Amino acid sequence: MLTHIDKSNLPSMVDVSEKENSIRVASAISSIQLPEQMRDYFTGDDFKLKKGPVFQTAIIAATMAVKKTHETIPLCHQVPIESCKVNIEVNDDLRVDVTCKVRTSYKTGIEMEALHGAMVACLTIYDMCKAVSHNMVIGETKLLSKSGGKSPVLNNVKGLILTGGKSSRMNRDKALIEYKNRPHALYLKSLLEKYCDEVFISSRKGQWDGTPLESEKLLFDDEKMTGPVAGMLAAFNRDPSANWIVIACDLPYINESTIETLIENYDPSKVAVSFKNKEKGFAEPLCTLYTNKAREVFEKAYLEDTRCPVKVLKSVETIALEQRGKINLSNINTPTEYQEAKEFLAKGESI
């Protein structure tokens, strides 16, 4: 039976009066493709037109839309909004991505509010820019994540990009390798920012001086430690209460499906959510969502001289998922593999 149809076959709002309040979080994204003419009006963080600052106006519009969703969608409940965060990113091709994350403590979900906010932001951008050109296309609008109710709440999520050092076989830093006209570490950063409150790039002191990563949020390894565990513990110690999505910079095929699958399978009772290695079946530790239980586990392992993150995950409760569909954790170690990945991604198969 359809939940919005009553016994008389008439439209009806779902009765949530018997439900208890719980924390609900939802994130949605919408995009709009701007024409090349708009590039002349970009000031580095916004488009400045006679009507005013485009993105600032869009953020206000999105916030208003979130609060008034029940007035637009007929059978939506009037949900008390406790938080609304709107993030706007301009890609190199002038595609603008708007992410709207909404939070409440209520009896029903909040995904419609997030979707409404993201979509209205794009409509506002269109309205602000139409004096320059009508050649704009509002693209895909979709839900990125939702939690609450019967599902666990995923909040306080931060991202870490593990960069390592110069690869002897590649003869350069994998973090700076470009697949689509920007260093891969910066692509991973922009991807994780859609889901995380903050995103950091692991680093040794001075490692990224004079590079495009120099001005990013860097998280310095403990100089007494080595290997990926050093970067991971630096993150876990920075915010022990947070959930951390950790991604290695030599994984070129990471996409939204990868991150969303990790989030959808989040379980706070486990140490981590990861993917199985296709050949050997172990949990891949460098594309993983770690819960706040991870810090204690990795500190103990390090003190016991276990420096291999694969071995650490083998010793604890971990959700290990199959790599299906668009999920591909193949890494790049040679110039030949890099060229193959670059050609594959140029076809628009992934990122």
- Confidence at residue 351, expressed as pLDDT on a 0 to 100 scale: 45
Assess whether 127 carries a catalytic annotation: yes
Which residues lie across from 162 on neighbouring strands?
A: 248
What does the DSSP assignment read for 35-101?
Answer: PGGGGGGB-SSSBEETTEEHHHHHHHHHHHHHHTHHHHSTT---PPP-EEEEEEEE-TTSEEEEEEE
* Cα–Cα separations (whole angstroms), residue 165 to 207, 229, 288: 8, 14, 20
Q: Which of 46, 127, 197, 239 is catalytic?
A: 127
With a CB cutoff of 8 Å and minimum separation 6, the contacts of 162 are: 202, 228, 231, 232, 246, 247, 248, 249, 286
Over the stretch 34-86, which tens digit does the pLDDT of each residue have?
999 999 999 888 999 989 999 999 999 999 999 999 999 999 999 999 999 99
Classify the C-alpha dihedral 297-298-301-306 as positive or negative.
positive
Measured CA to CA, the distance from residue 239 to residue 213 in angstroms comes to 22
Domains belonging to the chain, first-starting first, are: 22-147 (3.30.70.640), 157-345 (3.90.550.10)
Measured CA to CA, the distance from residue 110 to residue 80 in angstroms comes to 10
Annotated binding site for Mg(2+): 250
Over the stretch 288-340, which tens digit does the pLDDT of each residue have?
999 888 999 999 988 888 888 999 999 898 999 999 888 889 888 888 888 88
